[in-house]
Structure formats: C-alpha cells, structure tokens
Amino acid sequence: MWMITLNLALVATAILAISACSETDVACTTEARASTMVTVVDATGASVTDATVTYSVDGAAALNCDLVGSVYDCGFEQSGTLTITATRGTTSATKPVVVTRTNDGCSHVVTQKVTLTLV
C-alpha cells in the first residue's frame, strides 16, 4: 500500500512541476548560430564558391567567413552591423547587414540571409 501512495505522490509532484511552467518559459539551446548566411552569385545568378568572403563587426578588423556547401557562414553569435565583402579576382561586392538578438531570454542572434552579386 505504501508503494501506491509513494507512486501517487511522485505523479502528483510531476504534475505540479509541469503545471508550474508558464507559457512564456523558453528552452534555450547551447548552439552557436551563424550571424549571417551569405550566398555569392555571379552576373548570371550562378553560385560562386571560390570567392574570398570576409566580414567585420562594427568596423573592427575583417575576419574570414566559412564556406559550408554553397553558403558562407559569417560570424557566430555576433550582433551589430556586419559588413560583408565577397571578392573574386578583381571583382568585389560589399553589403552592410544589421544583425540583432532574440528577445526571448536566450539572446541568440537572428541569422540574416544575404546575397552578394559579383559583376
């Protein structure tokens, strides 16, 4: 009989714990999100994966972006004004992008998708 009482007490405790969560509770993750995902194309719209792509945050020194498949990831969890530059040969394209953070308590960046055209 005491086992049934103990099991019922555990179930009641679990129900109280679950019901204590409000609708605004957020489950944050430990992932690092890309600040920008940059697609580089040529004048015909074809994907360019042999460009050098860099970014700087709020005017700081430029850093290299990482090519993942056909998209360049620039910065991870970095917010502010990112200036993205793609260069291939003597052709380059630059675009400033404002990256903000979520306001859900987790403070991840809101990844911006950017396309740069090399002409």
Tokens 């049934």, located at residue = 4
pLDDT at 24: 57
pTM over 0.85: no
Mean pLDDT of the chain: 85
In a domain, residue 110? The reply is yes
Identify the CA nearest to 115 among candidates 36, 44, 62. 36
Distances (CA, A) of 106 to 8, 22, 76, 112: 35, 16, 15, 17
Tokens 């697609």, located at residue = 39
Instruction: Judge whether residue 2 has pLDDT over 50.
Output: no
pLDDT, average across residues 19-35: 72
Residues 75, 35: contact at Cβ < 8 Å? yes
Q: What domain range includes position 52?
A: 34-118
Instruction: Judge whether residue 93 has pLDDT over 90.
Output: yes
pLDDT, average across residues 90-104: 96
For residue range 45-82, list pLDDT tens digits in order. 999 999 999 999 999 999 999 999 999 999 999 999 99
- Residue 113's CATH number: 2.60.40.1120
In a domain, residue 71? The reply is yes
Return d(Cα 20, Cα 17) in angstroms, integer: 5
Return d(Cα 117, Cα 35) in angstroms, integer: 19
Return d(Cα 112, Cα 3) in angstroms, integer: 55
Instruction: Judge whether residue 13 has pLDDT over 60.
Output: no
pLDDT, average across residues 12-40: 68
pLDDT at 88: 98
The structural domain count of the chain equals: 1
For residue range 100-109, list pLDDT tens digits in order. 999 998 999 9
Return d(Cα 71, Cα 64) in angstroms, integer: 13
Beta bridge partners of 86: 53, 93
In a domain, residue 2? The reply is no
